[in-house]
Structure 1
Amino acid sequence: MDIIRNNLTAKIRGGQIPQGKVRVSGAKNASTRLLAAALISDEEVTLSNFPTQLVDAQYKIDFIRKSGGNITVDTDKEELTIDSGSITSSILEDYNYPIRTTYLLVPGLIKKTGIARIPYPGGCKIGDRGYDLHMMVWEKLGATITEKENYIEVSAPSGFTAGEIDFPISTIGGTENALISASIAVGETVIKNAYISPEVNSLIDFLKRLGVHIEVVGNSFIKVKGTKYLRGTLFPVIPDRIEAITWIVYGIISGGNITIEDVPFDMMEIPLIHLKHAGIEIYRNSNNVIISPECLVNGDIQPFELACGTHPGIISDMQPFYTLLGLHANGISRIFDYRYPERIKYCEELNKFYPKALDAKAGTIKIFGGKEIIPAEADSTDLRGSMAVVMAALLAKGESTINNVEMALRGYNNLEDKLKNLGVEFKVISNQ
């Protein structure tokens, strides 16, 4: 399996109108967590609807294989089978893995070997992504942590023991780590101030399938009773709500005719309500959406104001696509994001396509809609912001260049083929 292609440039001929069908893949933020969680099982685990070509998943698969785990990948069926029975804690030659969720690999290694050596969390450069909360989780469960030059070493020779974990802030990653770690801890662990997103709910369902006893009280309190023997299971990855909103917005602002399949409506109620407030009526059945120019009730996208926050609202990963929507609206729109206020670097790149259309300050984006869009050369920033920049290039008539486009490719399973199926040419060139 190929690991990420680095130093890629996209040459994009803008103004192409997408036509056809596109299916939403399994969620990036669910699949990579489930893959790590599967390591605590004592039997084989099969994950269906798995985005097998997702770069972050490929990195994690590579690490697990180098640690002795057996993983079978079926790209045609989009299925993954994990057997972690032979996993080891040997020191690897290379710990350069640019993914954030390396900490989720710890519980499986602790259960099988009593010690875990994992790469330092990498990934997007959005503010300060420390790992102190993850260290707190392991320490509360009785482990010893040593920060080595190239990796983090977590030691619990007799396994984790139950404890109380009270997060000082609401954290998805910390909640996921606490859930998986507590699932193998002796006794009952209490998790306070947990963040229960759809992806975390999916992880809870998965752990229950393995045989873990989990009780959720309200929206932020979880009790986990660790289980010694965990069975295998066949478990489906939920569809990616961020990819779904990506295709919906692209269809609207491109004037295309797109059928988007496997849209997780139950996870997207409020994001879709905001589209309605912007004068957009989508046509849907139980699983699919049809986007066409007729979706615009008055022929225009109406300006809007919204605030990003936690689920069930508009999460920060969706912010760039609403920014794009505002750029095509008939008036001034505003987006507020005080959860990740520095997540605005992509706005500098979008301004190259929409000159002086974005006034972005920490926590606030003012959008002057209706500006002319022109082709440009731009750089990739964070993962979702980079996809917004790619979309701008797809819209601007003429040829645009996106440098380091691998950042956008990281978030989308099989992006190049999906665009091709919509009749959109998307050429990626390696500069190595």
Structure 2
Amino acid sequence: MNHEETLMRHAPYYLVTGGMPLRGEVSVSGAKNAVTKMVIASLLTTEQCMLRNVPLLGDLDLTIKLCRELGSQVDLQDHTLTIRTQDCEKRVVSRDVGGLNRICVLAIGPMLHRCGEVTIPAPGGDRIGPRPIDYHLDGLRQMGATIEEREGYFVCSASKRLKGTTIKLPFPSVMATENFLITASLAKGVTVIENAANEPEIIDLIKLLQKMGAIIELQVDRRIVVEGVESLRGASHTLLSDRNEAVSLAVATYLTRGDVYLRLAQQDTLLTFLNTLSKMGLCFEIDDEGIRFIGDDRPPPAIALETDVHPGFMTDWQQPFTILLTQANGMSVVHETIYEDRFGYTSALIGMGAHIGLYPKCLGEVPCRFKGKQYMHSCVVRGPTPLKGTRLYIPDIRAGCSYILAALCAEGTSQVYGIEHIERGYEQLDVKLRGLGARIERVEGEPA
């Protein structure tokens, strides 16, 4: 038995039996990609902040541990979180807390504002290709931070108040934009973020910061202007719903030929996804409370799809949609322009019977950073193809959800390992699917 087999033997996994149509109603949780940034933003003030519609998931747990390590008092009741950081008791983030994802990078600005220094570990995260933090460090240095790398840690300091500046992002990075929004809110003077990302989660973060007293202006051509203030106050905010969870559950509905109403699914955050469904002739109904997705027995037509920065087709939607395209009639093309290595999960789909080919050429029209390079960032899918249940090991959050979707529509039973990735990014996904009629069981591994 090799090392990976030994780990799988002792790890919990999902046992998924395909072929059951999803039917019923379920509520979409709050946005995973918003809650962790808002918790970090609360470090900017000594007053209490309250967040409602908070998703209960692993990434939030890590962020709470990070803040508690720095001195925050945190209370989480049901889906409401209160946090107050009167004093920063510690200025070093341990590797156990900060090395598992990249969220600790966002704590640099608030900590430099609060106490002039902080040390964080080199961050980790999903295995979806290189995700450098150079944009973050370069921008923070422009604002007056001194950052040195020592033995796997970043030692950060500021001898005086961080200052406003003009930061031009080489690419509309979501997390870098969030970092500079948070940091610039208390910087001296005006900060201009050029080529900024403008995802719905960023707009929601801006809403919270404005409630706290920040002055932030959205301008044309991806420019955001932040006028720094002397101090920020506490605030209360209700998070938007998670558009990635909504898409995953919608695709699961079509794959299983079901009929599901997603309460709290928000049309304005899903416009591009819904347009794509309309182009494929897939049925949905929108009302003020949510969206109903209605599958049928007909295979959808093949399409050409390209991911892009918002308001384009979101890169996190690419994986679930590729599963859907294995059941489409004809040859579909998917061109990934955001991450250079996000098709690694397709090898497992091929093992289930999917017909998928990867190519380094740009098979699309969206301007792509990877043109002329040898990254396998275009995908051709031929369908419809019956998928067969198998053993799957999840490499990251989005691919993991896609494996579950594939297992839901496959013949037979699949064992899905690496479920900690799912539980990091989705709130009780298996429970929600069971409530809709899916045959999915969480099985504890053998004792070590």
| TM-score under structure 2 length normalisation | 0.90
- Say whether 1:424 aligns with 2:431: no
Write out per-residue CA displacement over residues 277-299 of structure 1, whole angstroms, 9 at most, x where no aligned residue. 111121221232222335x7xx3
- The aligned counterpart of 2:81 is 80
- The aligned counterpart of 1:254 is 256
Measured after TM superposition, the shift of residue 141 of structure 1 is: 0.9
- The aligned counterpart of 2:61 is 58
Code of the residue aligned with 1:325 in structure 2: it is L
Which residue, out of 194, 213, 228, partners 2:230? Answer: 228
Measured after TM superposition, the shift of residue 430 of structure 1 is: 4.1
Once residues 125 and 237 of structure 2 are traced to their aligned partners in structure 1, the CA distance between those partners, rounded to angstroms, is 26
Code of the residue aligned with 1:424 in structure 2: it is A
- The aligned counterpart of 2:3 is none
> What is the RMSD computed on CA atoms of the aligned residues?
1.8
Once residues 291 and 365 of structure 1 are traced to their aligned partners in structure 2, the CA distance between those partners, rounded to angstroms, is 26
Code of the residue aligned with 1:335 in structure 2: it is V
Which residue, out of 418, 442, 446, partners 1:404? Answer: 418
Once residues 402 and 429 of structure 1 are traced to their aligned partners in structure 2, the CA distance between those partners, rounded to angstroms, is 10
Code of the residue aligned with 1:164 in structure 2: it is T
Which residue, out of 13, 17, 24, partners 1:20? Answer: 24
Once residues 36 and 366 of structure 1 are traced to their aligned partners in structure 2, the CA distance between those partners, rounded to angstroms, is 40
Once residues 56 and 149 of structure 1 are traced to their aligned partners in structure 2, the CA distance between those partners, rounded to angstroms, is 25
Q: Do 1:72 and 1:80's aligned partners in 2 also have CA atoms closer than 8 Å?
A: yes
Within a 5 Å distance, the mapping from 1:283-294 to structure 2 comes to 283-294=285-296
Once residues 194 and 177 of structure 1 are traced to their aligned partners in structure 2, the CA distance between those partners, rounded to angstroms, is 11
- The aligned counterpart of 2:357 is 359
Measured after TM superposition, the shift of residue 158 of structure 1 is: 2.8
Within a 5 Å distance, the mapping from 1:50-129 to structure 2 comes to 50-51=54-55, 53-75=56-78, 78-91=79-92, 94-96=95-97, 97-129=99-131
Q: Do 2:283 and 2:294's aligned partners in 1 also have CA atoms closer than 8 Å?
A: no
Measured after TM superposition, the shift of residue 411 of structure 1 is: 1.9
- Say whether 1:180 aligns with 2:182: yes
Measured after TM superposition, the shift of residue 131 of structure 1 is: 1.1
5+ residue gaps, structure 2: 1-9, 360-375
Write out per-residue CA displacement over residues 109-162 of structure 1, whole angstroms, 9 at most, x where no aligned residue. 222221122232211112211111111121111111122324322111433122
Once residues 306 and 235 of structure 2 are traced to their aligned partners in structure 1, the CA distance between those partners, rounded to angstroms, is 39
Measured after TM superposition, the shift of residue 358 of structure 1 is: 1.1
- Say whether 1:11 aligns with 2:19: no
Code of the residue aligned with 1:312 in structure 2: it is P
Measured after TM superposition, the shift of residue 416 of structure 1 is: 2.4
| 2:129 match: secondary structure | coil
Once residues 258 and 59 of structure 1 are traced to their aligned partners in structure 2, the CA distance between those partners, rounded to angstroms, is 32
Q: Do 1:330 and 1:369's aligned partners in 2 also have CA atoms closer than 8 Å?
A: yes
Measured after TM superposition, the shift of residue 93 of structure 1 is: 5.2
Once residues 290 and 200 of structure 1 are traced to their aligned partners in structure 2, the CA distance between those partners, rounded to angstroms, is 26
Once residues 295 and 443 of structure 2 are traced to their aligned partners in structure 1, the CA distance between those partners, rounded to angstroms, is 32
Code of the residue aligned with 1:45 in structure 2: it is C
| 1:312 match: secondary structure | coil
**Range with greater deviation from structure 2 (79-88 or 113-122):** 113-122
Q: Do 1:95 and 1:118's aligned partners in 2 also have CA atoms closer than 8 Å?
A: no
Code of the residue aligned with 1:328 in structure 2: it is Q
| 1:318 match: secondary structure | helix
Code of the residue aligned with 2:185 in structure 1: it is S
Once residues 307 and 336 of structure 1 are traced to their aligned partners in structure 2, the CA distance between those partners, rounded to angstroms, is 5
5+ residue gaps, structure 1: 1-5
Code of the residue aligned with 1:364 in structure 2: it is S
| 2:170 match: secondary structure | strand
Measured after TM superposition, the shift of residue 83 of structure 1 is: 0.2
- Say whether 1:43 aligns with 2:42: no
Q: Do 1:95 and 1:151's aligned partners in 2 also have CA atoms closer than 8 Å?
A: no
- The aligned counterpart of 1:266 is 268
Measured after TM superposition, the shift of residue 329 of structure 1 is: 0.9
Q: How many residues align?
A: 420
Measured after TM superposition, the shift of residue 187 of structure 1 is: 1.3
- The aligned counterpart of 2:345 is 346
Which residue, out of 8, 29, 33, partners 1:29? Answer: 33
Q: Do 2:57 and 2:427's aligned partners in 1 also have CA atoms closer than 8 Å?
A: yes
- The aligned counterpart of 1:198 is 200
Code of the residue aligned with 1:82 in structure 2: it is I
Once residues 306 and 159 of structure 2 are traced to their aligned partners in structure 1, the CA distance between those partners, rounded to angstroms, is 46
Code of the residue aligned with 2:63 in structure 1: it is K
| 1:169 match: secondary structure | coil
Code of the residue aligned with 2:104 in structure 1: it is T
Q: Structure 1's 110 and 313: CA in aligned 2 closer, same or farther, altered over 3 A? A: same
- The aligned counterpart of 1:3 is none
Measured after TM superposition, the shift of residue 304 of structure 1 is: 0.9
Within a 5 Å distance, the mapping from 1:100-179 to structure 2 comes to 100-179=102-181
Code of the residue aligned with 2:121 in structure 1: it is P
Within a 5 Å distance, the mapping from 1:371-390 to structure 2 comes to 371-390=385-404
Code of the residue aligned with 2:333 in structure 1: it is R
| 1:168 match: secondary structure | coil
Write out per-residue CA displacement over residues 251-285 of structure 1, whole angstroms, 9 at most, x where no aligned residue. 11111221111111112112111111111121221
Code of the residue aligned with 1:163 in structure 2: it is T
Q: Do 1:14 and 1:393's aligned partners in 2 also have CA atoms closer than 8 Å?
A: yes
Once residues 95 and 379 of structure 2 are traced to their aligned partners in structure 1, the CA distance between those partners, rounded to angstroms, is 40
Once residues 287 and 379 of structure 1 are traced to their aligned partners in structure 2, the CA distance between those partners, rounded to angstroms, is 36
| 1:410 match: secondary structure | helix
Once residues 235 and 37 of structure 2 are traced to their aligned partners in structure 1, the CA distance between those partners, rounded to angstroms, is 15
Q: Do 2:92 and 2:118's aligned partners in 1 also have CA atoms closer than 8 Å?
A: no
Measured after TM superposition, the shift of residue 47 of structure 1 is: 0.6
Q: Structure 1's 133 and 92: CA in aligned 2 closer, same or farther, altered over 3 A? A: closer
Measured after TM superposition, the shift of residue 9 of structure 1 is: 2.2
- The aligned counterpart of 1:336 is 335
Write out per-residue CA displacement over residues 40-97 of structure 1, whole angstroms, 9 at most, x where no aligned residue. 023110011111x21111101011112211111012xx11111011223343554453
Within a 5 Å distance, the mapping from 1:289-300 to structure 2 comes to 289-294=291-296, 299-300=298-299
| TM-score under structure 1 length normalisation | 0.93
Q: Do 2:94 and 2:121's aligned partners in 1 also have CA atoms closer than 8 Å?
A: no
| 1:20 match: secondary structure | strand
Code of the residue aligned with 1:336 in structure 2: it is H
Once residues 67 and 7 of structure 1 are traced to their aligned partners in structure 2, the CA distance between those partners, rounded to angstroms, is 31
Which residue, out of 269, 281, 284, partners 1:282? Answer: 284
Measured after TM superposition, the shift of residue 328 of structure 1 is: 1.0
